[in-house]
Amino acid sequence: MVTDFSKKGNKEFFNKKLLFRTLGILFFVVILALIIADFKIYLKKAELKSQIADYQRQIEEIKKNNQNLKEQIANADDTDYLEKIAYEQLGQQKPGEKQVIFVEPPQKTETVLGQQNFWDANKWTSWFGKLWQWIKNKF
């Protein structure tokens, strides 16, 4: 019994296999492109949400500033308010008043050990200097 392998049947198998591989690769490329596009959209959405939050904060600040300006306009005729503004912003005084300025001495701030720079050269040289003095005193 002799089997007859036709070349045509063998070519169809390889063509189907090549077609299946090509479609599979194309499918994965399309899926990868969709994932990348989705990620870009997600990043853009996060950026736009951040901008919206920033704009809302700016709107709130402008509303507060607007309210302050309305209050100042309403109090423009009030002599007590004008006097207060003259004292605070313009530094004016009533006749016979003296201006007193209190100056506080600068406070020394002590640094906490955890906040000091570990690699500070001055710290290490003073430490080695003290160590050297201690050694010299011992001998």
Is 11 a domain residue? Answer: yes
Per-residue pLDDT of the chain (139 residues; tens, 9 = 90+): 455 555 555 566 667 888 889 999 999 999 999 999 999 999 999 999 999 999 999 999 999 999 999 988 888 788 888 777 777 777 677 777 777 777 888 887 665 555 566 677 777 788 888 888 888 888 7
Whether residue 139 is contained in a domain is answered as no
Show the tokens assigned to 15: 């063509």
Residue 41 lies in domain? 7-95
Provide the pLDDT for residue 1.
47
Cβ 99 vs Cβ 93: under 8 Å = yes
Query: What is the Cβ-side half-sphere exposure of residue 34, based on CA atoms within 13 angstroms?
Result: 6
CB 81 within 8 A of CB 75: yes
Residue 103 belongs to a domain: no
Q: Is residue 115 part of a domain?
A: no
The total of structural domains in the chain comes to 1
Q: Please report whether residue 89 resides in a domain.
A: yes
In a domain, 130, yes or no: no
* Two tokens, residue 83: 């006097």
Q: How far apart are CA 58 and CA 123, in angstroms?
A: 46
* Residue 44 in tokens: 């853009």
**pLDDT given at position 35:** 96
For residue 119, being part of any structural domain is answered with no
